[in-house]
A and B are shown apart, each in its own frame.
Chain A
Amino acid sequence: MIDSWLMERLLVATWETIYMVATSTFFSYLFGLPLGVILVITERGHIMENKVVNRVLGWIINATRSIPFIIFLILIIPITRLLVGTYIGTVASIVPLTLAAIPFVARLVETSLKEIEWGLIEAALSMGANTWTIITKVLLTEAKPSLILGVAITTINLIGYSAMAGIVGGGGLGTLAYYYGYQRYENTIMWATVIVLILVVQGVQFLGEKLAQKASKNRG
C-alpha cells in the first residue's frame, strides 16, 4: 500500500530524475545544438561548405550513436570519475546521459534545420548577411517550432536512459523501481514508478507541443 515512506521515496526519486534529465538535456543542447548547426552549414553547397569537418563529425556522431546506452554507460566510467570524482549517484549520471544525448541532439537539430527552404538562406545571402546572422536569424529562428519538439523528444529519451542509469546506481526512479520494485518483489513500488514515469513523459510531450504551437502561431 502507499504509505508515507513510499510517498517520500517516490517524491525524492522523481525529483532526482527530473534533476538528472533537465541538467543533461541542458548540457546536451549546449554542445549538440552547435554541432547540429555545423553539420548543416558544412554540407556541400551550404554557407560554410567543408567536406572534412562534415565527414569527420558525421562519422563520430554515428559511431557514438551505435553504442547501446547500457554499454556506453560502463564504457565511459573513467571519464565520469575524472569529471565528478565518482560514477555513482545522481550527479555522476549526468555525465553519461549528456554524452550519449549530444550526438542524438546534433542529428535532431540537423533534421530540423534541413526543413528550411534554401530560398530563405539565399535571400539572406543576397542581402549581404554573414554566416552568424544566417545561423541565428534565419536557421534557428525559422526552425524554432521544430527545434522545440526536438527538445521534448530528447527529454523523453533521457527519461528512459536515466532509468537505465538508475540500475547501475544512478539514482532516481530507475533505482527505485529496480532495487525495491524488482529485487524485493514490491509490486506497488514498481507500478507507482511506472505511473509517475507515464505522467512525466505525457507532461513533457504536452508542454513541448504547446510551446511549439505557440512558436509557430501565425506562420504558414
Chain B
Amino acid sequence: MIKIENLTKIYHASGQKIVALDDVSLTIEKGEIFGIIGLSGAGKSTLIRCINMLEKPTAGSILVDGQEITTLNKHELRLTRQKIGMIFQHFNLLSSRTVFGNIMFPLEIAKVPRKEAIKRTHELLELVGLTDKANVYPSQLSGGQKQRVGIARALANNPKLLLSDEATSALDPQTTRSILQLLRDINKKFDLTILLITHDMNVIKEVCDRVAVIDNSRIIEVDDVLNVFTSPGSPTARSFVNSVFSREVPAELLHRTTAGGDREQTWLVRVAFIGTSAGEPIISSLIRKYDVEANILYGNIDRIKDTPYGNLTLELMGLSNDLQEAIDYLQSRGLEVEVLNND
C-alpha cells in the first residue's frame, strides 16, 4: 500500500540544518494497521506528513497504491489527497460548522453532488454513532466525540488509506480505547489500511499489526507487534515495552532470592506465554513432574491486539539440576523463560 524508500527531510531553520528524517525506508501492506512509535522530536510527525505531502521530502520516494506522490503536480496531489484520510491529535474541526457540516466538508471539496453528499454524511454519522449530534457545534462535544467526527470526516471520500496523527493523545484512557476500537472496526469493515503515529505503546498494543520504532530521525526496528513485545530488539523499543508491561523486579526481591550454594537454590524466573499456551495448566504439571517448588510472585494476562499475552514471575526452589530441567520443560512448551537472578 505504501512503499517509502530512502526518505530524507532536512529543514533549514535560522541558518541551521536539522535532519528530521534520515534515509527512512518502510513498506506498509494493504489492510494492515501499522504503527510508528517514537518520542517527541523523533521525526514521526514529519514522516506521516510526507505521506500526503503536507511536508515536502528533501529526497526519496513514496509510493501510495503504486503511485509516486512526490512528483505529483498540484492538481493531481489534491485528487490524491481526497483519497487519503487523515485524523489529528487536536481534531481540527471547523468551529463555524456543525458536526454535519464538518463531515460534509471533504465531500464539498471533492465536488460530490449535494444530494449524494447529504446521504453520505448521514451514513457516516451512523457509522461513528453520532446521529443525534448532527446539528451540534464541535465546542459542545467531548474529546471522544470530536475525534469520532474527525474519523467520519476522514472516511467521507472512501479513502484507501487513513493517516492517524496522535489521534488519541489528547484523550483519556477509556475514550482512547473506544476510539481505537472504532479504528479496528473500520479497518476490518472497509479493508482500510491505517498508518498511525503515537508515543504511547498502549496504542500499538491495542490495535497494531506491525510497528516501526523511530529514534533520532531513523527507523531502528520494524517487526510484528508481538515480536517487539516479547523480544524488543533495541533499547528504545525495550523502554517502550516496559512502559506497558512492567518488567522490572523490585530490588529487594532480587536480593532475597539470590541464588547460591550447592544445595537448595531459589531462582527467580520470568515466564512469558503467548497465545494458546495461556490456557494450559503448565505450572501445575511442572510441580507434579519435577522436584521443585513454585511460588508465584507476580502475574498478569494482557492482550496484544487479539493475542493473549501472559507474564508470570516465579520463585522456583530446588536443586540446581531439577531447576534446570524444570526450565527446559517450560521452554519445550513454547514459553519464553528468563532467569532473573542467575548470572
A interface list, Cβ under 8 A from B? 117, 119-120, 122-130, 133, 137-138, 141-142, 144, 218-220
Given A127-B105, A128-B110, A218-B137, A141–B82 Cβ distance below 8 Å? no
19 A-B residue contacts at CB 8 Å? A117-B90, A119-B88, A119-B90, A120-B92, A120-B94, A124-B105, A125-B81, A126-B85, A126-B86, A126-B163, A127-B109, A128-B79, A128-B81, A128-B106, A129-B109, A137-B108, A219-B137, A220-B138, A220-B140
**A123-B88, A137-B105, A220-B138 known; A130 vs B78 contact (CB < 8 Å):** yes
Question: How far, in angstroms, from A142 to B281 measured CA to CA in the complex?
Answer: 62
- Complex formed: what's the CA distance from A123 to B49 in Å? 11
What residues of B have a CB within 8 angstroms of the CB of A130 in the complex?
A: 78
User: For the complex, is B139 an interface residue (Cβ under 8 Å from A)?
Assistant: yes
Report the interface size for chain B: residues with CB under 8 A from the other chain: 31
Check B137 against A220 for contact (C-beta < 8 Å).
yes
CB-based A-B contact count at 8 angstroms: 71
From B78, B96, B108, residue with most partner A Cβ within 10 Å: B96
A144 touches B109 (CB 8 A): no
Candidates A117, A128, A137, A219; contact of B92 at CB < 8 Å: A117
- Across the interface, do A128 and B96 meet the contact criterion of CB distance under 8 Å? no
| B139, A128: Cβ atoms closer than 8 Å | no
**Distance A138 CA – B109 CA, assembled complex (angstroms):** 12
Complex Cα gap A99–B143 (Å): 46
**Chain A binding surface SS class:** helix
Per the 8 Å Cβ criterion, residues 52-82 of B in contact with A are 52, 54, 77-82
Chain A proximity of B11: nearest CB distance (Å)? 11
Which B79-102 residues have C-beta < 8 A from chain A? 79-82, 84-86, 88, 90, 92-97
Cα distance A188–B211 in the bound complex, in angstroms: 82
Q: How far is the CB of A179 from chain B (nearest CB, A)?
A: 48
Smallest CB gap from A143: residue in B: B96
Report B-chain residues with C-beta under 8 Å of the C-beta of A218: 137, 139-140
Closest approach, in angstroms, between the C-beta of B103 and any C-beta of chain A? 11
Does B92 contact A142, Cβ atoms closer than 8 Å? no
Please name all residues of chain A whose beta carbon is closer than 8 Å to the beta carbon of B82 when the two chains form the complex: 127-128
CB A159 to nearest CB in B, in angstroms, measures 30
Q: Mask for B263-274, Cβ within 8 A of A = 1, else 0? A: 000000000000
Residues of B within 8 A of A141 (CB): 94, 96-97
* A123-B81 contact in complex given A141-B94, A220-B95, C-beta closer than 8 Å: no
Known: A127-B157, A128-B78. 4 other contacts (CB 8 A): A122-B92, A127-B153, A137-B108, A142-B94
Q: Which residue of B lies closest to A125 (CB)?
A: B54
Point out the residue from A117, A127, A142, A144 that lies within 8 Å of B106, measured CB to CB. Answer: A127
Cα distance A133–B105 in the bound complex, in angstroms = 10
A125 to B86, CA, bound (A): 10
Give Cα distance in the complex from A218 to B94, angstroms.
12
Cβ B86 vs Cβ A220 within 8 A: no
